[in-house]
Amino acid sequence: MSSMDLSSPGAFAMMAAKCPCCFNPGTVHTGNITAQSKLSALRVLMAERNLDAYLILSPDAHNSEYVSSCDERRSYLSGFSGSAGTALVTRDKALLWTDARYFVQAENQLDGDLWSLMKMYEPGVPEVNDWISENLDASSRIGMDPTTCLKSRAVEWQYSWSIKSASSPTVLVPIRENLVDAIWPDRPEVPMEPLAVHPMDLSGESVSSKLERVKNSVSRTNSDVLVVSALDQIAWLFNLRGSDIMCNPVFFAYAVLDCRPTDTSAAVHLFVGRRSDSEGGAGWDGWISQDVKDHLSEASVTIHPYGAFDTKLSGILSGMLTDQKEKENLTVMVEKTSCSVAIADSITASGVAKLKETETVSPVENFKSIKNEAEIAGIKSAALKDSVAVVKFLALLTEQISDNSNELREAAVCDTLISYRKSLDGYIGDSFPTISSSGPNSAVIHYKPETGSDQERALSTDEMYLLDTGAQFLDGTTDVTRTVHFGSPSDEQRRCYTRVLQGHVGLAQAIFPCGTPGLMLDTFARAPLWNDGLVYGHGTGHGIGAYLNVHEGPIGIGGGNVPGDIIRSNPRMQAYYLEPIEAGMYVSNEPGFYKDGEWGIRIESDIVSEVVPENDSDEKSSLFPYGRTGNRAFLRFQYMTQVPMCKKLIDISLLNEGEIKWLNEYHKGVLEALTPLLGNDGRALSWLQAETAPL
C-alpha cells in the first residue's frame, strides 16, 4: 500500500478493513484453548486480512489504565495480567513490552516458549515501533483496533516508518472489530451498571459550574467544541459515579460540549449505556434512574445511547455549524492523551470540523486534579477511616503470626481486611485488588495473590510482608502501602527499609515553589537510596481521584528510574513528569526497593499539596525567616494516611535529627487521631501504642 498522510481527514477510514464478523467467534478452536491455540487462531485472521503483524494494546476505547474484564484482550491472549503492556503478534513471533513494575510478573505469567518479554527502557531494548521498523519489511501491514490506539501514537509511529521508507512505508491498518474478540469464545459480558449522583456536599461544585469553567477554558483557545472520552473526566464533570470497571467508580460514556460564546445555554451531549439500544428507541434509557435524569436535566444535558456516538457526532457538529454560518469549519478540541484513532476519524470524517489536539491534557483533567475544599475534607475523612481498618488488620496479623495459632496465607487475609472496611461508613469497595505479598513475592511490584496458586505463600515470622491496598469511600479514595516484618529482620533489610523511609520522609517534608514539576521532586525520594547504590523501577507518586480512579493524571512524581534521553524522546513521559504541581493536588508518596527473588519494600502514603502560609505560627513557616523571594507561592504536603511505620525495620543510626523528629511527630499524630476511633479494640490499641512510641 502506498504512503499516506495520517493527519488528513478520513485517512484511517479509507484504510479500514472489512468487518470480520463473518468469522464465528471461537470456531478456530477445536479442542482445549491453550496459549498456542490462541496465537494460531489470531494468525488465521491476520492471514485473511493480509496482515504482517497485529497490535494488542492494553487500554479500552477510553484509554483507561484499568479496564473492564471484557476489554482485557492483551491479558487473555498473552496470559500477562499486569495493567500496563503492549503485545505484538507477527506471523512467527509474539512479543510483550512492559515496564519495570511488571518484569518479574511477566516472566512468571508468559509462556517463554511462545512469547518474548521486552523490558521497556532497559539498555538495548527497542520500543514497539522501532522493533517493527528494524525487524519487519518495509511496507508491512500492522493491524490494530482504532478504538484502542491513540491518534497521537499512530501519527508518531507512521511518521517514524515513513522516514525509513518514504516510498513504501509500513502502515497501520485499522480494523474496527477487534480480532482478539473474534477468537475469545467466553468473553465476559459488556457491563452497564446503574449510575449514581455524586452529591454537592462531596463534589463541592455543581455540574453547571464545572461546565461553565470548562467551556470558558476551551473557548479561550479559539476552539468551538470539546469531545471528552476519558471516563474519570466524564464522571467528575457530570458529578456522576458508576461501576462498569472493577474498583473504579466510572461508567462507559462520551461527552460533547458546545463551547462557543453564546447568549443562550450551549448544547451538552452525554452518551451512556454501552449495552443500550444504539438506535435510541423507545425506553432505551429505562435503566437510568429518574434521579440521574433530573440531575442532568438541571444542567441542560441531553442524553444519548453510547452506541450512537459515532453516528450522531457528525449530525451534532453539522447542527452547530449551521448555527454559525460565518465559519466554514468548527474547531474540535480533543485530549492528546486519550483521543483514539476512531474518535479523530469520526470528527474529521464529518466534513464540518477540524481536529485540535491539546498540547498535554484537556481542561477537564486539569480542573479535576485540583481538589476543592469539600473534596479535600472528604479525602481526609476517607484516609482516616481506612487507616483504622489497616491498623486493625496489621495488629491482627501480628498477634496471630506470633501465636502460631493458624496458617495465614496471602490471599485469604485480604478478606479480613475487607471485613474491617465493610464496617466503615461510606465504604463502596477496594480501589484496586490488594497486593498482599510475603517473602520473594514482595519483590514483585504489582503481585496479585491467587488462592491456591503455586505462587501463594503463607505469612511467616521469617519473611518481609508487603501490604499495598486502597479503598473507595463515598467521600474519597485511598492508596496505602506498609512493609512489616513479624520476626527478626536482617541488617540488610533494616538498612534498605530505612533508606526507603528516608526517601519517603524527604518527599513528605519537601517545600517547593508552586509549579515545580514532579520530575524535580523525585530526587527527594531517591537520593537516600542512591547514596547506597539502590534504585527502584517505578515512579514515586501518582495522582489520586476524589472517589474516582486510584491512578489519576495529569501529574506524576518520578522519572529518576529512567535515563534522561528516554524522557527527552518520550512525549507521554514528559507530559506526566513535567506537569506543574499546584495547591490542592492529591498524590501518592511511594518509594521502594526490591531484591528480586528475596524480598521487597515499599512505603506509600497519600498527600495533598497546600500553600505554605506567609505568616503562620506553624514551625514550617520558620523556613522563611526573612520572607520568601520570587513571585510564586511555596507549597508543602498535608499528610493524609495515618498508619505507623514498622519500628522493627528502622535503623535509627542512619537517621538524622530532623528525620527522627518528623517520625516522632507523625507517630504522635497517628496515635491521637486513631485512638478515639479504635474504641474498645484492645489488640489494635496495644499494637498502635507500641508502633507509635517515640524513637
**Looking at 123, 155, 183, which one is the last position of a domain?**
183
Which is more confidently placed, 282 or 226? 226
Q: Is residue 96 within 8 Å of residue 80, measured between CB atoms?
A: yes
- 322 and 238 share one domain: yes
Q: Tell the residue number behind the cell numbers 461510606, with chain if given.
A: 426
Coarse DSSP helix, strand, coil percentages of the chain, rounded to the nearest 5 percent: 40, 20, 40
State the Cα–Cα distance between residues 231 and 245, nearest whole angstrom: 10
pLDDT score of 13: 30
pLDDT score of 101: 84
Instruction: With a cut of 90, say whether residue 29 has pLDDT above it.
Output: no
Give me the number of domains the chain comprises: 3
Percentage of the chain with pLDDT > 70? 93
- 261 and 378 share one domain: no
Instruction: With a cut of 90, say whether residue 233 has pLDDT above it.
Output: yes
Instruction: With a cut of 70, say whether residue 616 has pLDDT above it.
Output: no
* 25 within domain boundaries: no
- 135 and 240 share one domain: no
- 542 and 669 share one domain: yes
Percentage of the chain with pLDDT > 90? 78
Task: Place 321 in a pLDDT band, splitting at 50, 70 and 90.
Answer: confident
- 351 and 377 share one domain: no
State the Cα–Cα distance between residues 344 and 332, nearest whole angstrom: 10
Task: Place 280 in a pLDDT band, splitting at 50, 70 and 90.
Answer: confident
* 669 within domain boundaries: yes
* 12 within domain boundaries: no
**Looking at 322, 350, 368, which one is the last position of a domain?**
368
pLDDT score of 75: 96
* 619 within domain boundaries: no
- 563 and 437 share one domain: yes
Instruction: With a cut of 90, say whether residue 163 has pLDDT above it.
Output: no
State the Cα–Cα distance between residues 558 and 262, nearest whole angstrom: 42
Instruction: With a cut of 50, say whether residue 4 has pLDDT above it.
Output: no
pLDDT score of 263: 54
* 687 within domain boundaries: yes
pTM above 0.85, yes or no: yes
- 321 and 467 share one domain: no
State the Cα–Cα distance between residues 488 and 22, nearest whole angstrom: 63
Work out the mean pLDDT of the chain and round it to a whole number.
91
* 229 within domain boundaries: yes
* 18 within domain boundaries: no
- CATH label of the domain that carries residue 642: 3.90.230.10
- 350 and 424 share one domain: no
Which is more confidently placed, 13 or 258? 258
In this structure, what C-alpha cell is assigned to residue 504?
519517603
**Looking at 183, 209, 237, which one is the last position of a domain?**
183
Instruction: With a cut of 70, say whether residue 622 has pLDDT above it.
Output: no
Average pLDDT rounded to a whole number, residues 292-306 = 96
pLDDT score of 325: 60
- 179 and 302 share one domain: no
Q: Is residue 548 within 8 Å of residue 232, measured between CB atoms?
A: yes
- 544 and 670 share one domain: yes
Instruction: With a cut of 50, say whether residue 366 has pLDDT above it.
Output: yes
pLDDT tens-digit map of 375-401: 999 999 999 999 999 999 999 999 999
pLDDT score of 360: 79
pLDDT score of 22: 33
* 665 within domain boundaries: yes
Average pLDDT rounded to a whole number, residues 530-547 = 97
Tell me the DSSP string of 440-462. Answer: GGGGSTT----TT-TT--B--TT
- 573 and 667 share one domain: yes
159: Cα within 13 Å, side-chain hemisphere: 7
- The amino acid occupying position 18 is K
Instruction: With a cut of 90, say whether residue 52 has pLDDT above it.
Output: yes
pLDDT tens-digit map of 437-488: 999 999 999 888 888 888 899 999 999 999 999 999 999 999 999 999 999 9
Q: Residue 556: give the domain boundaries.
A: 370-613+629-692
pLDDT tens-digit map of 629-685: 888 999 999 999 999 999 999 999 999 999 999 999 999 999 999 999 999 999 999
- CATH label of the domain that carries residue 272: 3.40.350.10
- 124 and 234 share one domain: no
State the Cα–Cα distance between residues 506 and 525, nearest whole angstrom: 6
